Every structure is written in C-alpha cells, then in structure tokens.
Chains A and B, each alone.
Chain A
Amino acid sequence: MKRELVYMDAKSSKFWNIELAGPTYTVKYGRIGTDGQLVTKSFPDEATARKEMEKLIKEKLGKGYVDAAAGGASVGGEEPAANGLIPFVAFSSINRREEIGENLGTFIGRRVVDFDPEKPVKVDVVYRFRGDWEDNEIIPNLETFLATNAAPATTALVFGAWHGDDPELTPASLIEVLVKNQARLPDLAAIYVGDITSEENEMSWIKQCDLSPLLKAFPKLQLLRSRGGDGLKLTSPQHESLRALAIETGGMDVSVIRSVCTSSFPNLEYLELWLGTDEYGANYSVADLQPILSGRLFPKLKYLGLRNSQRADELAGVIVNSPLLQRIETLDLSLGVLTDDGARSLLLLPLNTTLKKLNLHYNYISPELVRQLKTLPMTVDTSKPSELETHDEWRFVAVGE
C-alpha cells in the first residue's frame, strides 16, 4: 500500500510519500526536486501499522497536502512539469492568512529570486522583477533579462512592486514590454502581476490595468495570477489553453466579474477570485456570480475559490445548490467573513458531491458548527488565526483594513 502526496504554496513545494510493507511503513519526504529523507517505523502487526499510516495521511491532508497524481505533479526526486504542464497543486499561492504579508518564496513550485542584472542568469529559478525606493529600474532590468539566453527557456515570471515610489503607477508599461518581446518568451506559462506586500503597497491601493494583452501575447499561458483590484480589466477574456486564473483584490469591481462570466477559457481548471469588501470597491452582488455557479462556463473546473469575501455567508447559501459541486474537487471560501450562517448552509451540501476538500481557513464559525462541518465526507479546513477565536464584534475579511 502506497500513497504519494504533495504540497505547494507561496513558500514551499514538498512531497511526502508513504509505503506500507507488512508491519512497517516508510516515509520519504522533502523538497520537490531533491531526493528527500527516509523515515521507517515498525509496529507489532500490520493492522496497527496501517492504522498509524492512515492517521498520518489524514493529518497531511488536513494540512493541505493533496495526492500527487490528482495534483498532476511528479513526485520525489524529479522535476515537476516535465511534460510542460504546471502541476495542478502549484496553481495555489496563498494558503494561510499570514502568507498575504509575504513576498513569494516559490511560484509554480519553483524558487523565486529577484532578478539582479549584475549576476549570471539561472534557469532553475523563477525571476521576480520589482521597483525600488531609490530608482525604479524594473523596465530596464526586464529588458536586460529578455536579451539573455535564459529568456527563451523561461516558463514563469513574477512582477513585484512595479510602482517604485509612486503608488499611482500601473503595470501597463511593463505589460507593453512583455507583449513587444513575446517572441523572446515562447514558453511562458505562468505570470504573476502583483507580488506586492502591504509593506510595499496596500492591496486595495495597487493600481492595475488591462491584463488581457498578456492572454493574447502568450498562447502557452497556463496560469495568470494578479493582485490589486483598482483599475483591473480583462477586456478580452479569452485563451485556448489557460488552466488557471487567480485574481486577488481587496474589493472586486463587478466589471471584472462580468469579464470572467463572459470569458472563453475552455481549459480552465482553477478559478480563484478574491472578492473583498464594499469599502475597497467590491460592488457586485452574489447574483453577478451566477454564470460561474451555474456550472456552464468552465467544463474542466476542479477548483473554485471565492475568497476574502465579505459576503461569504451569502455565497455559501447559493453555492450548495450549484451543479458545480457534482464536478469540482475543491471549494475554497477561505479568508472571508464566513459565520455560522454560512456553515449551516454548507452542512446542506449534496450527498453526491464530488468535493474532496472544503477550505474554510480564516472563518468566524463557532466550535459547535466546526464539529458538525468535520462530519462532512471530505477534508474540511476550519483553521483560523487565534484572534478570530476571541473577538466577536468585528467581522472582517483577511485583506481589507
């Protein structure tokens, strides 16, 4: 008996394999791309060993590990994405509230490094480009990089604080440079426009622009992730092979939701929307999300994240009736204002749901309802920062204030 799990987020990419042979199990674990370490443990009999093994597996699943095969990732010792496909688990980035305040450590499972024009270029990392408080060299640095031999082999790029010392600056000129140099980036598969911490600029203050030129310029794009809702547009939301779209905002404008709802992403497997609060520009109603919830839009969808939402309860109430729940594997309502009301709705999930994971991290659910949610036939993450256990009066999304 064998089980292979992987975990990926903004900081790490790890594998964890366990194999049972008689009364002994062997765990192999480590960073993806390394050989990892071995731990062997023996028990008096096979039944005990099996029980212990199942306990460990449950623990790992609770921590966010997923089956390697389902995640589309290769395991232990090999590089992921050997077939050019980004492992499904590598689409997610922020898993925990506290990670919102940090710059990326990894992106699509690979280490993120700030591009330094004075250092020799590497091919095994993902470069991040960002501005600087002294002089903003982000465009010249990007142009320098594009002229190197590393550019044609590049599969992923991360853009951080492009605004330097002027928070009003959008990434438009950055995108222009990328589009102009599309021939230099034939294999570009993943882009993050907005690896910006609140120390650099508040999420709700980040000035975005129309990101659809990227969709048009890079036909091999699989993942588009962005942060910041102000000025964000997807005027031409279509792409043949895009597999993942993630839009992080402190408040999402209804026009962005409409663009997603009128999009043509036939291969989309992963959709993550941070809806935010009215105070920071969220002006949608749950009805605006109907085209997504109806299940018609994205036939290949496996993950739906409606995160950081002030209206998480309302969303939960509508979503339990969505046909998507007979198709997708993960529903993510984390980082929002989900209370007992929303939890009660979720208890009404259809019995024949295909959901394997329900992510409710950062919630305002009472211990009693948490207990009830845990009886659902799937992995339910109800973890929360300690301050949410005590404060009753203020209910706020993870990114807002």
Chain B
Amino acid sequence: MNGASLPWANSCRLGLIGNPENRRIRDFQDAVEGLGRPRPPCLAYTDLLRDEATLGHFEADLLRIDSPGENAAVTRALITRGGGPAQPHMEFGEIRFLREYHQGFCEILAAIERCGIPCLNSPPDISVMFDKWACHQRFLEHLAPRPPAELAPADYQTLHTKMRSQGSGRIFLKPLHGSSASGVCALRWTPHQQQLIAPIRIQYKRGEPILINSLEIRTYTTVSDIELILGLLLPQGMICEQWIPKLTLPGGAIDLRVLVIAGEARHWVIRQSRHPMTNLHLGNQRGNERALTEIIGQPKLKAAFQVAEQAAACFPDSLYAGVDILLDAKHRAVVGEINSFGDLLPRLLHRNESAYTAIAKSCHAQRCAI
C-alpha cells in the first residue's frame, strides 16, 4: 500500500479516544500505521473521566471517538458521572444503570464537543445514535424505512394491560440506551401463552433478582420470569418495536450489518442465527453471501445497501456508521439499528481494505485535505 500518495495533510494529527487496552484501538492504530502514517495516540477514557483538562493537552487536530465499552472501571465511572451512585456495585455483566451510563457518556461527549477539535463522528451524532428513540425519530424525519415503534411504558403492569387488550402480538423491547444486544428482548404472546427470548440470565444477589447479560440466548415462558425481567428493564427506559419476521436462509434467520463510510455502503456481513438476535458475539455465525444473493437477487441486495446509506445519511456529521438492515420475507430492507461503533469487523475486506483501513483512508481524503 502506498501511503505517500494519500492526500494526507502533514499538519493533520489524528488522535483516538477509547480504552487503549481494547483491540478496537490497537487495530485502528495498526491500520493507520499500515498506511505509512504515524501511529495515532490514544486518550484513555479513564484519564478523560478523571480530568477533562487532559483533552486540552491532547495533541490532535482530528478525533476518532471509539467505544467506552468492555472496561469495568470506565463503565462504573460513567455511571457515577451520569448521576448514579459514587461506587456502583455491579456484578459482571449486570444490566443496570443504563440511563446513568448513557447520561455519563453524553456528558463526556459534550466535553469533547466543547474542546473544539473536529471529530470523524460528531459527539452530538454519537449521542443520538446511542438513544434508540431519538434515532427512531431521526429516521422517520428522513423517511428511512423503520419497523413501527413506540416508547415502552416504564412499568410492567402497564405493558401487560396493553398486551392483554391487544390479544396477541410480537415485539422487540430494546433498552433505550443499551449497546449491542444487551437487554434486548423478543416478546410474543397470545391470550394463552407468552415467550420472552433474550440473552439474559436471572441471578440472585443477596436474595434480590438481578439481570446478567448472557452470551447464551434463553427462552422464558412463565409469566413470573417475564414479569421479573421486564420489571427490571422497563424502568430503565425501553423502545418497543414491531418484530418483523426476518428472512431465513439455510442455517437460520439473517440480517445484514453494513458499514457505511463517507456515504457509501462498504464492508458488510450477513449475521445468521436460530434466535431472534443475530449479534455475532452471541455465538451466531456469518451467513453465506452466495445463498443470500441467490434468493433475493442483486437488485434487492443493492436496495438494502441503499437503505443503509440512507440511514447513515441521517447523520451528516458522521463519517461512518454500522447499520443493521433487516430483510423481511419479501426481501424489503428496513433499518434495525445504527451504531457509531459498528465498525469492528475484523478480517473483513472490501476492495482489499479492512474496515479500519478504509475509514483511516477516507478520513484523510475527506477531512484532512480541507
């Protein structure tokens, strides 16, 4: 790869904000270095959370904000920052304080915004992408196709009354401020039975039930389990989406994760599962591209990429975003989610570039040349 030919303004120094021990940071640094550019420094969330002034000393002209996830100390500090307890006691993987965590993260994003350094993905865009209801509104404004959705009530009883009055139904309940599949529940019911499918385990801590984010997807069928789970999740804020039956291919139901960079759908992967959640970290698999194109055909696949581009275009101040595209039985594309940190797609190449290399190249072409 010939880095010298890139339109890389010499004055432009890229800096990363993230958890330096995370592979996201390492891999991105490697990608930039691979282009023949200096390894970008990383400002750790732990440092930023201890003292926002560190931003002022950070020598960068352009920032890439990466995920604060997968670091227990950062999680706790964000919860505290967002109005949670000073020492939040949490079990590993416990689904709790989602609102406070989000609030804390938004405050950090606001601090980054205040420092005035331009960002690949703007802090306001990132905070909207981490609020599913705000996201849904933004998609509706821009006419991006979405499943019908509404804010869920904050208590189980109200939801239950609503379910009963509807007779039967099938919905996804997603935490307003959750990340990946954490706390996401697929719920279906008839007057006689109910089923909640979620990567959640119920555990007891000093006699009190808590919810643990589990890598195993479980099915709960008793009213008491479902009431317990939703009783703990709904008060943290949830969005209620119609559960559209996903297209199934040999091996299970699928959706697409499409990485849109600078307006163009680039790296993509088929996520396949026998469960309603297709997230790859839940033991699901990448689906077969040929099987998909054989069934839906190139035009429908193109249309799906266009919907992904349309979703990303709702966030004009973001260079890239991972968009989850659902295909229904008629192969029509609908936006599932959008994720500012949806670019962790290791070993996936598009035009012979990894996702991180493509982003690194694109950020120089798009921004630094200005």
Contacts and interface: CB of A to CB of B under 8 A. Distances in A.
A280 to B, nearest CB: 10
Contacts of B328: 132-133
B190 A200 contact: no
A22 interface: no
| Chain A interface helix/strand/loop/mixed | loop
A165 B276 CA distance: 16
B330 interface: yes
A139 B250 CA distance: 28
Interface in B237-255: 242, 244-246, 248-253
A341 interface: no
Contacts of A197: 245, 248, 253
Given A101-B274, A199-B276, A167 B245 contact: no
Given A133-B245, A202-B195, A98 B251 contact: yes
A114 interface: yes
A116 B170 CA distance: 25
Interface centre among B147, B249, B329, B330 (most CB of A within 10 A): B329
A161 B249 contact: no
Interface in B151-176: 167-170
B249 A165 contact: no
Contacts of B191: 168
A199 B245 contact: yes
Interface centre among B169, B170, B219 (most CB of A within 10 A): B170
Interface in B195-211: 195
Interface string A200-234: 10100100000000000000000000000000000
Given A132-B328, A165-B170, A102 B276 contact: no
Nearest to B295: A105
A389 interface: no
A133 B242 contact: yes
Interface residues of A, number: 25
B268 to A, nearest CB: 21
Contacts of B170: 165, 167
Interface in A314-353: none
B193 interface: yes
A167 B188 contact: yes
11 contacts: A98-B274, A102-B249, A105-B250, A132-B328, A133-B244, A133-B328, A165-B169, A167-B190, A197-B248, A202-B195, A205-B190
A104 B329 CA distance: 12
A142 B170 CA distance: 25
B226 to A, nearest CB: 15
| Chain B interface helix/strand/loop/mixed | loop
B188 A161 contact: no
Interface in B244-278: 244-246, 248-253, 274, 276
A57 B272 CA distance: 34
Given A101-B248, A101-B253, A103-B248, A114 B330 contact: yes
Contacts of A161: 245, 329
A184 interface: no
A98 B273 CA distance: 11
A-B pairs, top 6 by smallest CB distance, nearest first, are: A199-B253, A200-B245, A133-B244, A102-B248, A199-B245, A197-B248
A101 B252 contact: yes
Nearest to A131: B329
A230 to B, nearest CB: 9
Given A98-B250, A166-B168, 5 more contacts: A133-B244, A133-B245, A168-B191, A199-B276, A401-B219
A356 interface: no
Nearest to B332: A134
Given A101-B253, A101-B274, A199 B168 contact: no
A133 B247 CA distance: 12
Nearest to A102: B248
Interface centre among A199, A200, A202 (most CB of B within 10 A): A199
A114 to B, nearest CB: 7
Contact of A132 (B147, B253, B330): B330
A11 B250 contact: yes
Interface in A98-114: 98-99, 101-103, 105, 114
A102 B193 contact: no
Interface centre among A133, A165, A200 (most CB of B within 10 A): A133
Contact of A102 (B169, B250, B329, B330): B250
A130 interface: yes
